[in-house]
Chains A and B, each alone.
Chain A
Amino acid sequence: MFKLLSNENMKIYRRLRTWILLGIILLATVLVAVVIRTHEQENPNWKQTLIAQNADLQQSLQHDQQLPPESRQHMQSTIQMNQYYIDHNLNPTRMTGWKFATTAESLSALLIAFIVVVAGDIVASEFSTGTIKMLLTQTATRTQILLSKYVAALLHALFMTAAMLVFSLLCGWIVFGMAGAGEPQFFTDGQGHMHQMPVAGYLFMHYGFLFIEVIFTATIAFMVSAIFRSSTLAITLSVLAFFVGNTLVAALSRYSWVKYILFANTDLSRYVEGGPPVAGMTLGFSIIMLIIYFVVMNLLAWYIFTKRDVALT
């Protein structure tokens, strides 16, 4: 089994494409850093600005009695946050390497698209080149071959995600400095309460959640690849599913059935920040949904891959 895995790894990493995709991600990260650096405007009077803003907010809170409670809460949170910056003499407009890395995480759409290219191709390409005949007439069973390919695809996804994290940190440190790992990152939860955690922790937490999304999108691509044996279909379908799925969930969030859609559950970070897409969803529910989807998708891929004829090419 380990030998099969090293075969699959060899086939991924000996291909130029794999490195080109990684290169594009790294390039995009550098580009984001350059753009931020050149457009960065540090406000030297940031403290006065914050003090003035807080005074404004206090005014509104006291005089405007018609304010909805959510707005009130939000304003109070902002005041707290500003006060923290003022008290600790922390300039919120100053970019740090760590903050940059959290900003660069917005390149994750690109990352997911590229991971899907490899995951969606790993089974299908054997069919399109005809090498599947050679692969399946050795002594390994189809189950072993499919499993080794799936593990290789997930390892590649992990490699790409880790590479993006490491590289955006390196990039951030070089351009904006290494300091500031312990600076607080403020965020509001589903109920509108403000929380804070060190920016480094926040970054790693987000990458953890991102990896869950990556696993599921890669699994969709892998499944389509194993079932339809077409990389084009696998890549298009899963990228489409990822974007359309997420948009659809956002657009239809007033319907409660939306919570059964996979993409309503893949972004677990929303239980920490921003709240779930459909009211009343819980973390436990999402985890159960994810497990169900995971099992069903893999069973489907396995069943069809092991049973179907390898027809004439």
Chain B
Amino acid sequence: MPQQAAVQIRHLTKAIGKKTIVDDLSFDIPEGEVFGFLGPNGAGKTTTIRMMVGLITKTRGKVFVYGTDVDKDFRAAMNRVGAIVENPELYKFLTGYQNLKHFARMSTGVGEERIREVVKLVGLEQRIHDKVKTYSLGMRQRLGLAQALLRKPDVLILDEPTNGLDPAGIRELRDHLRTLAKRDGVAVIVSSHLLSEMELMCDRVAIIQSGKLVDVRTIRNGLGADEDTEQTTEIQVDDGEAAVAVIRADHAGVSAQLQESAVVVSVTRDKVPEIVRSLVVAGIKIYAVNSVNKSLEDTFLEITGGGSIGV
């Protein structure tokens, strides 16, 4: 094995009665990656996460955290994991600080200093000594995240972490998760049913539908974008037809199509500035340049079938 995966999931299956909720999932998550579970409501994302952290038994399959079987040595495996499963439910009659203290006591080597650190990290300094019952959903989400970070986990598992966060909070969380992954090598696993969110946050996404793994895709336009593969780029211009002509003339081999008022090209990342320059030189006005990952969106929409819940 070239590099040890932080998390290995092998043939993970959960059946309740005759119904198979999670069906034979297998994939690896390397360290330093933000990995997304994407799927419509009821796809089995939460169920998968529950199995990973030992809340429910596995009908079949195994989960390894840095090579440790979660079922064989729960304590050793969980010592490297921080998690929030579904909504972050905390003790409402305690303050945020008392809650963190409670969970710090359950971990080894988490002192007052670390508690203060995570409180600052999630931006809860102002309210940390208030009772949790006075918190808003977003504040509870932040406190839940603080709890998950207490142990400086190598693997962070978050189920719908953006639920309840305001746009600024989502952005902060996204930046924060990416920093954790890139700087500290944390393997971050997030679940969501929102494609747009996943595109911005994740390096790779597993698409799950009715408990089955449909596809694992690398997100190409994220920070970790691949330099050599082509991506779809949309250029908003004043004169689409002229633009297509310019591109076809200046860049042989590049496919350019007109879609409504935009020109859509499929090129590698380093080609984008060249195309833009030739358009500028030709006197075409450019209003916007967006990179889109049509193929992922198409796959996802196909699966979700216009919003109906897959059962």
User: Which of A3, A6, A134 makes the CB contact (< 8 A) with B88?
Assistant: A134
Q: What are 24 sample pairs from A and B whose C-beta atoms fall under 8 A apart?
A: A6-B105, A10-B94, A14-B94, A16-B93, A130-B87, A134-B84, A134-B103, A134-B144, A134-B147, A135-B106, A136-B54, A136-B55, A137-B53, A137-B54, A137-B81, A138-B78, A138-B106, A139-B75, A139-B107, A139-B108, A141-B74, A141-B75, A309-B50, A309-B57
Interface residues of A, CB < 8 Å — how many? 27
B108 and A137 contact, CB distance less than 8 A? no
How far in angstroms is the closest Cβ of chain B from A248?
38
Judge whether A129 is part of the interface by a CB distance below 8 angstroms: yes
Judge whether A313 is part of the interface by a CB distance below 8 angstroms: yes
Judge whether A31 is part of the interface by a CB distance below 8 angstroms: no
Q: Which residue of A lies closest to B103 (CB)?
A: A138
Interface of B is mostly: loop
Find chain B residues with CB under 8 A from A136 CB. Answer: 53-55
Judge whether B92 is part of the interface by a CB distance below 8 angstroms: yes
Judge whether B85 is part of the interface by a CB distance below 8 angstroms: yes
Judge whether A7 is part of the interface by a CB distance below 8 angstroms: yes
B78 and A133 contact, CB distance less than 8 A? no
Find chain B residues with CB under 8 A from A38 CB. Answer: none
Find chain A residues with CB under 8 A from B92 CB. Answer: 129
Judge whether A61 is part of the interface by a CB distance below 8 angstroms: no
Judge whether A11 is part of the interface by a CB distance below 8 angstroms: yes
Judge whether B90 is part of the interface by a CB distance below 8 angstroms: yes
User: Which of B46, B78, B105 makes the CB contact (< 8 A) with A137?
Assistant: B78
B89 and A311 contact, CB distance less than 8 A? no
Using a CB-CB cutoff of 8 Å, which residues 123-165 of chain B contact chain A?
144, 147, 151
Judge whether A312 is part of the interface by a CB distance below 8 angstroms: yes
Judge whether A75 is part of the interface by a CB distance below 8 angstroms: no
Convert B69-106 into 0s and 1s, putting 1 for each residue whose CB lies closer than 8 angstroms to a CB of A: 00000110011010111111111111000100011011
A313 and B55 contact, CB distance less than 8 A? no
Q: Which residue of A lies closest to B51 (CB)?
A: A309
Find chain A residues with CB under 8 A from B106 CB. Answer: 3-4, 7, 135, 138-140
Q: In the docked arrangement, what's the CA distance between A16 and B94, Å? A: 11
Q: In the docked arrangement, what's the CA distance between A139 and B144, Å? A: 16
Q: In the docked arrangement, what's the CA distance between A129 and B90, Å? A: 8
Q: In the docked arrangement, what's the CA distance between A11 and B103, Å? A: 12
Find chain A residues with CB under 8 A from B147 CB. Answer: 134
Q: In the docked arrangement, what's the CA distance between A135 and B90, Å? A: 10
Judge whether B301 is part of the interface by a CB distance below 8 angstroms: no
B103 and A133 contact, CB distance less than 8 A? no
Q: In the docked arrangement, what's the CA distance between A311 and B103, Å? A: 22
B55 and A11 contact, CB distance less than 8 A? no
Judge whether A292 is part of the interface by a CB distance below 8 angstroms: no
Using a CB-CB cutoff of 8 Å, which residues 112-154 of chain A contact chain B?
129-131, 133-141
Judge whether B56 is part of the interface by a CB distance below 8 angstroms: yes
A7 and B102 contact, CB distance less than 8 A? yes
Convert A1-37 into 0s and 1s, putting 1 for each residue whose CB lies closer than 8 angstroms to a CB of B: 0011011001100111000000000000000000000
B89 and A7 contact, CB distance less than 8 A? no
Among B85, B88, B147, which residue has the most Cβ atoms of chain A within 10 A? B85
B105 and A310 contact, CB distance less than 8 A? no
Using a CB-CB cutoff of 8 Å, which residues 258-301 of chain B contact chain A?
none
Q: Which residue of A lies closest to B159 (CB)?
A: A133
B85 and A137 contact, CB distance less than 8 A? yes
Given contacts A10-B98, A15-B93, A136-B54, contact A313 B86 (CB under 8 A): yes
How far in angstroms is the closest Cβ of chain B from A263?
34
Find chain A residues with CB under 8 A from B46 CB. Answer: 312
Q: In the docked arrangement, what's the CA distance between A279 and B103, Å? A: 53
How far in angstroms is the closest Cβ of chain A from B154?
13
Find chain A residues with CB under 8 A from B74 CB. Answer: 139, 141
Given contacts A131-B90, A312-B46, contact A137 B102 (CB under 8 A): no
B85 and A133 contact, CB distance less than 8 A? yes
Find chain B residues with CB under 8 A from A137 CB. Answer: 53-55, 78, 81, 83, 85
B56 and A7 contact, CB distance less than 8 A? no
User: Which of B54, B56, B87, B90 makes the CB contact (< 8 A) with A311?
Assistant: B56
